[in-house]
A and B are shown apart, each in its own frame.
Chain A
Amino acid sequence: MAYYAPPIARLLAELERLPGIGPKSAQRLAYHILRGDADTAGRLADAIVEVKRSIHFCGRCFNFAERELCDICDDTGRDASAICVVEEPRDVVAIERTGEFRGYYHVLQGAISPIDGIGPDQLRVRELVARVGAGGITEVILATDPDIEGETTALYLSRLLKPLGTRVTRIASGLPVGGDLEYADEVTLGRALEARREMD
């Protein structure tokens, strides 16, 4: 039985696939789009298509990039001996804002979480090992989130990277418990970087 005209049903189905959007929110968004004018809807549709067309993942660090490499990897003026490992591209933004780190990044695109079916193979771990294995890296800073999954990911990576002969450090956990890096205020995150410690 069809409650909605097929184009509306299709829009609702797509909206409901977005994170945090249930049937009710999808309905609200769909009605908002329907009530608005065609230009507004067109701009939204264009922005979605454009972002997918122009932005992809950096071939080296897996941050968002407009070209083959992201702006950071493209910048040859940075310290090539240090890699800072984070979970998401938004964490790169947070750390860049502190101005405390001048090396390069590696974005795992998540953290280990077996209940969500995410293990090392679902993350950009192999690529990280390859980068470190290629040599020239003297320090890997693990800046995954200070929650259980982020800590576990850090422990796992440290076991994997240490045999490669590089120094592996973890940012200090003076961050709000259970908080994401994204919300950590800049001074705190800067201090957490400064007060990083050797992983045992």
Chain B
Amino acid sequence: MWITRLGLRDFRNYKHRDFTFGEGLTIFVGANATGKTTIAEAIQTIATGESFRKPKWDETIRWGCREALVTMEAEGETAAVSVELHITADGRRGWKVDGVTRKQTRSATRFVPVVVFTPDDLTLVKGPAEQRRSAIDALGDQLSSGYATLRRDYARVVRQRNALLRDDAPDSHLTPWDEHLVHLGARLHLHRRRLLVRVAEAAAPVYAHISAGESLAIVIDDRCGIGLQDPTRAPSQEELETSLQAELRHRASDERARRTSLVGPHRDDIGFTLDGRDARTFASQGQQRTIALAWKWAEVNVVAGMLGKSPVLILDDVMSELDESRRRALTDLVRREGQTFITTTNTGYFEPGLLESADVVTTGGDA
């Protein structure tokens, strides 16, 4: 599916603006603070329910207004859909699909998969572990509602358990949460592993292509006590539960001392190796950015492969952060099948050939 129309009413700095999009590439050009990123954000929000800016939702309502409205029409080979998102001053979001109210964000946001690439994603290799966990989990959420539910439930168990550890609660209160942590934690870890295998398989050839032959691999540094770095070597659910249980016992006094949950997939990390060497330590900044680029490219391919439809790709201001050779690689990704939105301050970053095939929209002025 591709997005044919986008409507913004009192969304951030936009009072009232409608856009019509083609099936291919749309480039939004404008100086900083002209609302380009807001358009990228609106597209991601209406399509997926998430925003890379991670706002409190009431912050997205234009100053002095009671409500923001974002609308989208999307079209596919066989079907069309219209989605409406109302954001109210209490931070609540209300969804409608083809005019019918949907209670769950999930049921309103499963039509158009989206992959977003922003300058923040370029620190994938060197950034905090949390960034890499969110990268894989956000992908999982989009691919399966089961993954999203599992992740939400697991996160809740960790929060509840941390509250008990903070209060120095007795073991008998902790025990039922430990059981959940072990069971859900093992499932989440296994689903992540499986998804990482897919990402790794899609990212390696892209990396090799851009870097002229270097070999990229993805490894898992787990906190589940299993110690299998290679994601393709998957333990069974039972094995993992047993090792999580043992690890919980082993770290029990540490957890008591530090008053927080130290065992489980919420502490896992993901690593990268180039020709077998740890990229965090040995790779140049350029190589690390190529890894981030290969990861995004892999996301596009994994989504297309698993959902059977090419995702919409949003590149927010990322061209200016890349050098010539990586820009060329990214341009190849843009040329693939599927709709793409790019925001930029400067069309000089694009080859004339690409520009000719694109719709160029200038932002600013009437925002």
Which residue numbers of A lie inside 8 Å of B, CB to CB?
22, 24, 112-115, 119-120, 147-149, 151-153, 155-156, 159, 177-178
- A114-B164, A114-B169 are contacts. A22–B180 as well, Cβ < 8 Å? no
B159 at the interface (CB under 8 A from A): yes
Q: Which of B89, B90, B160, B175 contacts A148 (CB 8 A)?
A: B160
Which residue numbers of B lie inside 8 Å of A, CB to CB?
89-90, 149, 153, 156-157, 159-161, 163-164, 167, 169, 172-173, 175-177, 179-180
Please name all residues of chain B whose beta carbon is closer than 8 Å to the beta carbon of A153 when the two chains form the complex.
176
Top 3 nearest A-B pairs (CB, nearest first) are: A114-B163, A155-B176, A152-B176
Q: B176 touching A113 by the CB < 8 A rule?
A: no
Distance of A175 from chain B, by nearest CB (Å): 13
Distance of A184 from chain B, by nearest CB (Å): 15
- A114-B169, A119-B169 are contacts. A152–B177 as well, Cβ < 8 Å? yes
Q: B160 touching A115 by the CB < 8 A rule?
A: yes
Please name all residues of chain A whose beta carbon is closer than 8 Å to the beta carbon of B160 when the two chains form the complex.
113-115, 148-149, 152
For the A-B complex, the count of residue pairs with Cβ-Cβ distances under 8 Å equals: 45
Q: A119 touching B157 by the CB < 8 A rule?
A: no
Please name all residues of chain A whose beta carbon is closer than 8 Å to the beta carbon of B169 when the two chains form the complex.
114, 119
In the bound complex, what is the Cα–Cα distance between A151 and B89 (angstroms)?
A: 34
Please name all residues of chain A whose beta carbon is closer than 8 Å to the beta carbon of B157 when the two chains form the complex.
148
Q: Which of A120, A149, A156, A178 contacts B149 (CB 8 A)?
A: A178
Q: Which of B90, B149, B167, B180 contacts A114 (CB 8 A)?
A: B167
| Residue of A with least CB distance to B164 | A114
Please name all residues of chain B whose beta carbon is closer than 8 Å to the beta carbon of A152 when the two chains form the complex.
160, 176-177, 180
Distance of A148 from chain B, by nearest CB (Å): 5
Distance of A199 from chain B, by nearest CB (Å): 11
In the bound complex, what is the Cα–Cα distance between A177 and B152 (angstroms)?
A: 12
Q: Which of B90, B156, B179 contacts A155 (CB 8 A)?
A: B179
Distance of B10 from chain A, by nearest CB (Å): 17
| Residue of A with least CB distance to B146 | A177
Please name all residues of chain A whose beta carbon is closer than 8 Å to the beta carbon of B90 when the two chains form the complex.
22, 24
In the bound complex, what is the Cα–Cα distance between A148 and B164 (angstroms)?
A: 15
Distance of B165 from chain A, by nearest CB (Å): 9
Do most interface residues of chain B lie in helix, strand or loop, or is the interface mixed? helix
Distance of A177 from chain B, by nearest CB (Å): 6
Q: B163 touching A148 by the CB < 8 A rule?
A: no
Please name all residues of chain A whose beta carbon is closer than 8 Å to the beta carbon of B172 when the two chains form the complex.
156, 159
In the bound complex, what is the Cα–Cα distance between A22 and B176 (angstroms)?
A: 35
Distance of A65 from chain B, by nearest CB (Å): 30
Distance of B90 from chain A, by nearest CB (Å): 6
In the bound complex, what is the Cα–Cα distance between A152 and B161 (angstroms)?
A: 11
In the bound complex, what is the Cα–Cα distance between A149 and B169 (angstroms)?
A: 17
- A114-B169, A115-B163 are contacts. A148–B176 as well, Cβ < 8 Å? no
Interface CB pairs A-B, < 8 A, 6: A112-B176, A114-B161, A148-B156, A151-B180, A156-B172, A177-B149
Q: B153 touching A148 by the CB < 8 A rule?
A: yes
Given contacts A112-B173, A153-B176, A156-B176, 9 further A-B contacts (CB under 8 A): A22-B90, A24-B89, A114-B161, A114-B164, A115-B159, A115-B160, A148-B180, A149-B160, A178-B149
Q: B173 touching A119 by the CB < 8 A rule?
A: yes
Q: B176 touching A159 by the CB < 8 A rule?
A: yes
Distance of A9 from chain B, by nearest CB (Å): 21
Please name all residues of chain B whose beta carbon is closer than 8 Å to the beta carbon of A120 when the two chains form the complex.
173
In the bound complex, what is the Cα–Cα distance between A152 and B173 (angstroms)?
A: 10
In the bound complex, what is the Cα–Cα distance between A119 and B168 (angstroms)?
A: 13
Among A112, A114, A120, A151, the one with the most B-chain Cβ atoms within 10 Å of its Cβ is: A114
Q: A159 touching B89 by the CB < 8 A rule?
A: no
Please name all residues of chain B whose beta carbon is closer than 8 Å to the beta carbon of A115 when the two chains form the complex.
159-160, 163
In the bound complex, what is the Cα–Cα distance between A177 and B157 (angstroms)?
A: 15
Please name all residues of chain B whose beta carbon is closer than 8 Å to the beta carbon of A22 when the two chains form the complex.
90
Q: A159 touching B153 by the CB < 8 A rule?
A: no
Distance of B175 from chain A, by nearest CB (Å): 7
In the bound complex, what is the Cα–Cα distance between A178 and B157 (angstroms)?
A: 14
Q: B175 touching A159 by the CB < 8 A rule?
A: yes
Please name all residues of chain A whose beta carbon is closer than 8 Å to the beta carbon of B177 when the two chains form the complex.
152
Among A115, A147, A153, the one with the most B-chain Cβ atoms within 10 Å of its Cβ is: A115
Please name all residues of chain A whose beta carbon is closer than 8 Å to the beta carbon of B156 when the two chains form the complex.
148
In the bound complex, what is the Cα–Cα distance between A115 and B162 (angstroms)?
A: 8
In the bound complex, what is the Cα–Cα distance between A177 and B144 (angstroms)?
A: 14
Distance of A118 from chain B, by nearest CB (Å): 10
Distance of B62 from chain A, by nearest CB (Å): 18
Please name all residues of chain B whose beta carbon is closer than 8 Å to the beta carbon of A148 when the two chains form the complex.
153, 156-157, 160, 180
In the bound complex, what is the Cα–Cα distance between A177 and B147 (angstroms)?
A: 13
Distance of A146 from chain B, by nearest CB (Å): 11
Distance of B93 from chain A, by nearest CB (Å): 16
Distance of A28 from chain B, by nearest CB (Å): 12
Please name all residues of chain B whose beta carbon is closer than 8 Å to the beta carbon of A177 when the two chains form the complex.
149
In the bound complex, what is the Cα–Cα distance between A127 and B39 (angstroms)?
A: 57
| Residue of B with least CB distance to A157 | B176
In the bound complex, what is the Cα–Cα distance between A190 and B176 (angstroms)?
A: 27
| Residue of A with least CB distance to B104 | A178
| Residue of B with least CB distance to A20 | B90
Please name all residues of chain A whose beta carbon is closer than 8 Å to the beta carbon of B159 when the two chains form the complex.
115
Distance of A84 from chain B, by nearest CB (Å): 20
